[in-house]
Amino acid sequence: MTTKETKPQTELREILMNEIRKYSECSQVISVVIKPTRRNLDCCNWYAEWILEDRRLKCPRAVEISKQLQAQFDLA
């Protein structure tokens, strides 16, 4: 298992929101909640729960960004 840099929930949230704001297709994202999860082998120990203006909307870019950051950072 590789060692990743750890970040607190507030910092992960800030990093995610800063990345999301770079993409106009993510304008419906209001916020994100970082939730801890059990680690299985080489998986991440957190996931992002996105809060959108309309729950019927989807934002694939937000999911892509969270996966990229999950590969870089663990939840402290």
pLDDT digits (tens, 9 = 90+) for 25-52: 999 999 999 999 987 666 789 999 999 9
Give the mean model confidence (pLDDT) for residues 57-64: 91
* pTM for this model (two decimals): 0.87
Of 35, 72, 68, nearest to 50 (Cα)?
A: 35
Q: Can you tell me the distance from the alpha carbon of 6 to that of 4, in angstroms, rounded to the nearest whole number?
A: 6
User: Where along the chain do its domains lie?
Assistant: 7-55
Query: Does residue 1 carry a pLDDT above 70?
Result: no
